[in-house]
A = this chain, B = another copy of it.
Amino acid sequence: MADHKSCDRRAKSGQDLFSAGEPCDAIFNLVEGWAFHYQLLADGRRQILDFALPGAVLGFDGLSGAAMTYGVQALTDAVFCVVPRRALGPLSRRHPGIGLHLASSIARDRDAAFARLTSIGRQSARERVAHLMLELFVRRRSQWPGHRIEEMHLPLTQEHIGDATGLTGVHVNRVLADLKKDGILTFSYRRLVILDPDRLVDVAEADPGLVQSWIQYGVIEQEPGAETLNRGLASTGVDGPRQAQDGCVAPFTEVRRGASGAAHFGRSQAQRSAHPVVRLANQRCAC
């Protein structure tokens, strides 16, 4: 797999990793920072499709050489691990697990898109904003297991929230004002405070399974006796997580292994299982 080593890439906040319409010959593993998928309409209207946290796989569209249908922009300064698209074929032939693995990762992205579709299509502005804030809160907090803080920095503006929920920034502001008045949450100048988690879950109409999926956004699936599947694509261990401690011999980094983040943040998956954590989040990929 050492053959597939490749360079990494840095992007400044606000900079595009790639844009809609251009072909993308590589896939990227977000190692550090935040990014988002988006699409633009001809007149400039923007839809944010998904927020990506460290561990996300970006840029795989199934059709190599085809133009991307969406763009990816860095929300903060960010670091990506680059894998040439052409390397995937040989790679998956040598390591049969990687294909299913990737499929699994993309399926999770699709499910997230489905969830957002339902939110935007069928929920009120209040529900949508609550939904997104809850999702980002849970996903972000699950990266810092052990922390219980209900206050955190989210690198978004209210305009971003609007573009993600299908609302105008102005209306998002009014909705946030309401949520604050009701003692549910506050969000201003990139600072989110959850005042009443239970009522937030209630307003968001988030069922427990959905919240669980946010928590497990980066957690491994392990097929008994088969290869390891996880979101970030295991650093090494395609035939089992045991090899994962050998260091970075592949372009992918398992970043959020062990992110449990369940309601009360019990011990992480890594602590429960015998398998070691490959690499801490927010740490640069060494390949």
Contact = CB atoms under 8 A, between A and B. Distances in A.
A35 to B, nearest CB: 15
Contacts of A210: 69
A132 B9 CA distance: 37
B121 A166 contact: yes
Interface string A35-61: 001010110011101000000000011
Interface in A86-101: 88-90, 92-94, 96-101
Contacts of A98: 99-100
Contacts of A61: 107, 111
Nearest to A116: B117
Nearest to A102: B103
Nearest to A88: B100
A117 B213 CA distance: 20
A118 interface: yes
Interface residues of A, number: 62
A173 B37 CA distance: 33
Interface stretch (A145-153, A190-198, A219-227, A244-252): A219-227
Nearest to A104: B62
Classify the secondary structure of A's interface with B. Answer: helix
Contact of A92 (B41, B60, B99, B111): B99
A88 to B, nearest CB: 6
A226 B98 CA distance: 16
A119 B117 CA distance: 10
Question: What is the copy number of this chain in the assembly?
Answer: 2
A118 B166 CA distance: 8
A265 interface: no
A108 interface: yes
A110 interface: yes
Interface in A4-54: 21, 37, 39, 41-42, 45-47, 49
Given A99-B100, A107-B61, A70 B221 contact: no
Nearest to A67: B209
Contacts of A117: 39, 47, 49, 113, 116-117, 120
A99 B103 CA distance: 7
A45 B127 CA distance: 13
A82 to B, nearest CB: 18
30 contacts: A21-B209, A39-B118, A41-B122, A45-B123, A47-B122, A60-B103, A61-B107, A61-B111, A62-B103, A62-B104, A62-B111, A63-B108, A63-B216, A63-B221, A64-B223, A70-B114, A88-B100, A89-B226, A92-B100, A93-B226, A96-B96, A99-B102, A106-B107, A106-B110, A109-B110, A113-B117, A117-B117, A121-B165, A121-B166, A122-B166
